[in-house]
Amino acid sequence: MRLFTALRPSDEAVRHLSEAIAALDPARVTEATAGVRKFRFTPAERWHLTLRFHGDDADPQRVADRLDRRMAHITAAPPALRLTGSGTFRGVLWTGVEPATETDRLALRELVRAAGGDPRGFRAHLTLARWASGRADRRWMPGLLTGYTGPWWTAGELAVMRSDQGEGGPVYRVVHRVPVTRAASG
């Protein structure tokens, strides 16, 4: 079991991005992925922004309790965010996350901190696809979603999730939820 704390995009944001991916020209996807093996898009039900990876042996109750304590001190309003653009790093095609304002950027950093992550090294992104090996063509792969901009959404909750390896890839289960509201500050 692997444990992580995540922020999930709204249903509308997921639907919008799913439609953009479904509308991609298959020939363009083939061209962009020519240098990699076993390219596969991540199913939308797995989409999330990892705020903190807790590891393979983390105690779910301890992580949940710590998140509850930290969220009790959140003072910022839930951030307004949108998914936009794309990029790659080793074996991953991702879309970025853009805060609406500087206040929203700071609020997102506060959520990363509450999850136990380091906001200084945090680059908000959502994994769209993975591949087993090979080098992505940095001109073509990120270009699959050049100009993509999704709708604005407001962060609703943080979820402590466990990842178990299944036949078709990881299976994610929510083990704890914490609303992202000013009311969380008590």
| Catalytic residue annotation | 48, 125
On whether the CB atoms of residues 64 and 115 are closer than 8 A, the answer is no
Edge to edge, the sheet with strand 125-130 lists: 40-41, 125-130, 92-99, 80-89, 153-154
Q: Could you tell me how far CA 117 lies from the centroid of its own chain?
A: 14
CA-nearest of 45, 50, 51, 49 to 14 is 45
